Structure 1
């Protein structure tokens, strides 16, 4: 079971990393082309600013989701690691459950936002793209982030308390860096 969860997690990580690179590159190139067009040719691309904004927002949300895979989000590990092993494990699970609940709520609210925008039929000003398509990134990334936190909770539950206490964020980051998940 653990191997299957990790395999799915690796695939999601590869998708997130690929999308982050594509979105960031596209936004940067588009912004650059628009600046050149504006200052060299005295004619800007009307929709470039709006699309660049959406691309960076999408990249950020996919990056936030990926951050849960590599444990890059803020945490208070030093304080938790100072607790006795079993209490350390319980507090770690509790904190991850709180994050999981929060992400589930964000995913649910994201779905509601997409439904609302679909029903209203609103479109973006310059691109004329329906807002429900633009906002679809919210439930997608919150669902993938929820999955990642779920996998971490399963991993914590399956890890003995004494082992969990020894594991530090630095050790986890070094391991992810060796695996090529972060650079």
Structure 2
């Protein structure tokens, strides 16, 4: 496997030309199922296994789980901002630096519990969005572009698949 295949085991996100209700519903389902899929993948791992990496110099399984909690909290807040403000500019964050903070030394089960609660609220919110809501946008300053909520649902469905694949890859390839 080359480095790009290791970094992007499900490929990079590609926005569909048309975002239908069926595509959105499927993406919401992916987001809804993510915490239970992560739980299945990590619940019986040893502490040593949780420190396996999905690629050389990549994050450990524990760091991936903590990253997902951090990232999904930020995404949830971005949805709320876009729903309550007129095209807000969101605040980016340094995910690689967040991954090095001391709270990433905690058990990955802490972040799994956070993901379970967060996704319950997030999915409830996503399932209530009207077509008008789905078209609301925020500005991502790093990309200098407007992102609609319906596109962001797809981005985070991909994000769930992407990091679930990282966990599975770490278990299979066993980089230390």
TM-score (norm 2): 0.32
Higher relative contact order (CA 8 A, sep 6+): 2
Greater share of residues in strand = 2
TM-score, normalised via structure 1 length: 0.31
